[in-house]
Structure 1
Amino acid sequence: MAGPAAGTNPISVINDTPMGARQWIVVVLMIFLNALDGFDVLSSAFAAPGITQEWGIPRSELGIVLSAELIGMGFGSLLLGGAADRYGRKPTMLLCLAIMAVGMYLAHSATGVTPLTIWRLLTGLGIGGMLAATNAVTAETSSTASRSLAMALYVIGYPIGGVIGGFAAQGWLLVDYDWRAVFLFGAAVTAVMIPLVMLLVPETPAYFAARRPEGALEKINRSLAAFRKPAITSLPPAPDEANKPKVTDILANPRLRPVTLMLAFGYMFHTLTFYYILKFAVQIVADTGFSQPDAASTLTYANIGGAIGGGIFGIFLKKFDIKRPTIAACVLGVVAVAWFGMGHGDLGAWRFAAFLTMFFLNAAIVGYYAAFARGFPAYARATGTGFVLGIGRAGAAGSPIIAGFLFTTLGNHNLLTVSLIMCLGALLGAVMVWLVPLSDADAQAGLMDLPAGQPID
Structure 2
Amino acid sequence: MVQNPREEMNNKAMNGYQWFVIIICILLNVIDGFDVLVMAFTASSVSAEWSLSGSQLGMLLSAGLFGMGAGSLFLAPWADKIGRRPLILLCLLICGVSMIASSIVQNATQLGILRFITGLGIGGILASSNVIASEYASSRWRSLAVSLQSTGYAIGATIGGMIAIALISHFGWRSVFLAGGLTTMTMLFVAFFTLPESLDYLLVKQPKNALERINTLCQRIGLSRLSQLPEVLIPSAQPKIGIAKLFSAGLGLQTIFLWLSFFCVMFGFYFVMSWTPKILSANGMTTEQGVTAGVLISAGGMFGAALIGLISARIRVFYVQAAFLALTAALILLFVNSTGTLTLAFILSVLLGVLSNGCVAGLYAMSPSIYEADVRATGVGSAIGFGRIGGILSPLVAGTFLDTGISSLTLYGYYAGAFILAIITVLSLSKLQAKHTAQLNFQNSAVSS
TM score, norm. by length of structure 2: 0.87
Q: Deviations over 1:391-410 (max 9, x none)?
A: 11111122233334444x23
Evaluate the alpha carbon distance shift between residue 450 and residue 349 of structure 1 in structure 2; reply closer, same or farther with a 3 A threshold. farther
Q: 2:386 aligns to what? A: 391
Evaluate the alpha carbon distance shift between residue 175 and residue 363 of structure 1 in structure 2; reply closer, same or farther with a 3 A threshold. same
Contact 1:374 1:439 in 2 (8 A): no
Q: 1:131 aligns to what? A: 126
Partners of 1:75 and 1:410 in 2: CA distance: 32
Counterparts of 1:346-357 in structure 2, within 5 Å, are 351-357=346-352
Partners of 2:117 and 2:157 in 1: CA distance: 20
1:182 pairs with 2:176: yes
Contact 2:280 2:339 in 1 (8 A): no
Q: Deviations over 1:216-270 (max 9, x none)?
A: 323322332344533112222314369766210221222x111111011111111
- Give the counterpart of 1:84 among 79, 86, 89: 79
Contact 1:76 1:125 in 2 (8 A): yes
Amino acid at match of 2:39: S
Contact 1:101 1:187 in 2 (8 A): yes
Instruction: Quote how far apart the aligned CAs of 1:333 are.
Output: 1.8
1:290 pairs with 2:290: no
Consecutive unaligned residues of structure 1, counting only runs of 5 or more, are 1-5, 453-457
Partners of 1:445 and 1:208 in 2: CA distance: 21
Counterparts of 1:35-50 in structure 2, within 5 Å, are 35-50=30-45
Q: 1:374 aligns to what? A: 369
Contact 1:46 1:296 in 2 (8 A): no
Q: 2:412 aligns to what? A: 419
Partners of 2:268 and 2:291 in 1: CA distance: 19
Evaluate the alpha carbon distance shift between residue 375 and residue 302 of structure 1 in structure 2; reply closer, same or farther with a 3 A threshold. same
Partners of 2:14 and 2:326 in 1: CA distance: 35
Evaluate the alpha carbon distance shift between residue 443 and residue 324 of structure 1 in structure 2; reply closer, same or farther with a 3 A threshold. closer
Per the alignment, in what secondary structure is the counterpart of residue 229 of structure 2? coil
1:221 pairs with 2:218: no
Partners of 1:451 and 1:64 in 2: CA distance: 55
Evaluate the alpha carbon distance shift between residue 122 and residue 150 of structure 1 in structure 2; reply closer, same or farther with a 3 A threshold. same
Amino acid at match of 1:425: A
Evaluate the alpha carbon distance shift between residue 434 and residue 79 of structure 1 in structure 2; reply closer, same or farther with a 3 A threshold. same
Counterparts of 1:416-455 in structure 2, within 5 Å, are 416-436=409-429, 437-439=432-434
Q: Deviations over 1:370-408 (max 9, x none)?
A: 21121111111111111111111111122233334444x
Contact 2:29 2:150 in 1 (8 A): yes
TM score, norm. by length of structure 1: 0.86
- Give the counterpart of 2:355 among 360, 366, 372: 360
Q: 1:169 aligns to what? A: 164
Amino acid at match of 2:138: S
- Aligned residues: percent identity? 31
Per the alignment, in what secondary structure is the counterpart of residue 253 of structure 1? coil
- Give the counterpart of 1:250 among 246, 250, 272: 246
Amino acid at match of 1:252: S
Evaluate the alpha carbon distance shift between residue 30 and residue 23 of structure 1 in structure 2; reply closer, same or farther with a 3 A threshold. same
Partners of 2:246 and 2:317 in 1: CA distance: 22
Partners of 1:77 and 1:272 in 2: CA distance: 17
**TM-align CA RMSD:** 3.1
Partners of 1:347 and 1:211 in 2: CA distance: 56
Amino acid at match of 2:121: G
Amino acid at match of 1:13: E
Q: Deviations over 1:170-221 (max 9, x none)?
A: 4x23443444433333212211101111111111221011112244323322
Partners of 2:186 and 2:440 in 1: CA distance: 38
Q: 2:102 aligns to what? A: 107
- Give the counterpart of 1:191 among 168, 185, 208: 185
Partners of 2:423 and 2:433 in 1: CA distance: 15
Per the alignment, in what secondary structure is the counterpart of residue 212 of structure 2? helix
Q: Figure out how many residues of one structure are paired with residues of the other and give that number.
A: 441
Q: Deviations over 1:287-324 (max 9, x none)?
A: 76435xx7654443212211212222122212221222
Partners of 2:349 and 2:108 in 1: CA distance: 28
Q: 1:27 aligns to what? A: 22
Contact 2:100 2:181 in 1 (8 A): yes
Partners of 1:328 and 1:227 in 2: CA distance: 34
Q: Deviations over 1:316-366 (max 9, x none)?
A: 212221222212211222233344445736875654443232211111122
Q: 1:268 aligns to what? A: 263
Partners of 1:328 and 1:318 in 2: CA distance: 15
Evaluate the alpha carbon distance shift between residue 450 and residue 42 of structure 1 in structure 2; reply closer, same or farther with a 3 A threshold. farther
Q: 2:150 aligns to what? A: 155
Amino acid at match of 1:189: T
1:236 pairs with 2:247: no
Instruction: Quote how far apart the aligned CAs of 1:76 are.
Output: 0.4
Partners of 1:117 and 1:447 in 2: CA distance: 51
Q: 1:3 aligns to what? A: none
Evaluate the alpha carbon distance shift between residue 335 and residue 388 of structure 1 in structure 2; reply closer, same or farther with a 3 A threshold. same
Evaluate the alpha carbon distance shift between residue 63 and residue 451 of structure 1 in structure 2; reply closer, same or farther with a 3 A threshold. farther
